[in-house]
Structure 1
Amino acid sequence: MFSTKSRYALRILIDLAQQKSDDFIPLKDIAERQDISKKYLEIIAKDLVKGGLIRGASGKHGGYMLTRAPEDYSVGEIIDHMEGTFAPVVCLEENAGECPRSGVCKTISMWTEFYELERNFFYGKKLSDLL
């Protein structure tokens, strides 16, 4: 299950993409259009800026904008940034050490298949597909 942070992050990015503007879009406008608390969106937007997914500017003409074209964002990278790994089990996480049960584990092939299906699905979807 994905958190509201991930779902709202997608909504922020979709909203920014729909504006088709070279100007910064005020967060209060996004909050109104998306019917989400501006306070909560501030937390999510800061995380998106930190991850390089959007740019922010403060001041009178401040707000947020995409850092690249909508077709250059995968849904997977957005969810990955907000949630962390897609790995359904610890032994499939990036930089996981050798699992002591890898030689006898009867479920690893199932987890690996699920992981690849999920990852390929979300990384195969582009932000532009959601517009």
Structure 2
Amino acid sequence: MKISTKGRYGLTIMMELASKFGEGPTSLKSIAEKNQLSEHYLEQLIAPLRNAGLVKSIRGAYGGYILSRQPEDITAGDIIRVLEGPISPVDFTDEDDPAKRDLWIRIKNSIAEVLDSTTLANLITYQDEGKNENFMFYI
């Protein structure tokens, strides 16, 4: 499964709204400018997020968007499913080999577990705690 720009930019929108949670509405224009993204494309992505009840729109001169729930209550899985559809690495049928089908189901469940256990609050407070192996080679 490859996450498209819809999913990646949708996460960007939601992380920006989470980082401003409680401060009032945020405009898509400011999100687009800060992240060097197309405002028009973000407008296409915000509609399904609003329809799914993940964001609320605020009208007016100082309007924009806010999260409909606390950042701790919205997961990456919620966002990806709205924008990308069901999480599945491949389409398979009951006629597929049971061993292969079991592998695809385990992969799907692993991806879903990571997405569903990662909240917006986790994403905006993430700090790299040495998880990336950086090797130093001396010659």
Say yes or no: TM over 0.5. yes
Let me know the Cα RMSD of the aligned residues.
Answer: 1.6
Q: Which residue of 2 aligns with 1:101?
A: 95
Residue by residue over 1:84-118, the C-alpha shift from the partner in whole angstroms, topping out at 9 and shown as x without a partner, is 01122334xxxxxxx4526x533111111111111
Give the counterpart letter for 1:101 in structure 2. E
Question: 2:116 maps to what in 1?
Answer: 123
Q: Structure 2: which amino acid aligns with 1:83?
A: E
Please tell me the residue identity of whatever aligns with 1:117: S
2:103 corresponds to which of 102, 110, 122: 110
CA contact 2:71–2:121 (8 Å) conserved in 1: yes
| Residue of structure 1 in register with 2:59 after alignment | 58
TM-score normalised by length of structure 2: 0.80
Call closer, same or farther: CA 1:100–1:2 in 2, change over 3 Å.
Answer: closer
Q: Which secondary structure does the structure 2 equivalent of 1:90 belong to?
A: coil
Structure 1 runs of 4+ aligned residues shifted over 3 Å read: none
C-alpha distance in 1 between matches for 2:111 and 2:14: 21
Aligned-partner SS, 1:116: helix
Note the C-alpha offset of 1:22.
Answer: 4.2
**How big is the shift at 1:119?**
0.8
Q: What is residue 37 of structure 2 aligned with on the other side?
A: 36
Q: Cα offset for 1:122?
A: 0.9
C-alpha distance in structure 1 between counterparts of 2:81 and 2:61, whole Å? 32
TM-score with structure 1 setting the length: 0.85
Structure 1: unaligned runs, 5 residues or longer:
92-98
Q: Secondary structure at the match of 2:47?
A: helix
- Residue 57 of structure 1 and its aligned partner are, at CA, apart by 2.4
Instruction: Output the CA distance in 2 between the equivalents of 1:69 and 1:119.
Output: 21
Q: Aligned residue pairs: how many?
A: 123
1:35 positional shift:
1.3
Aligned AA (2:99): K
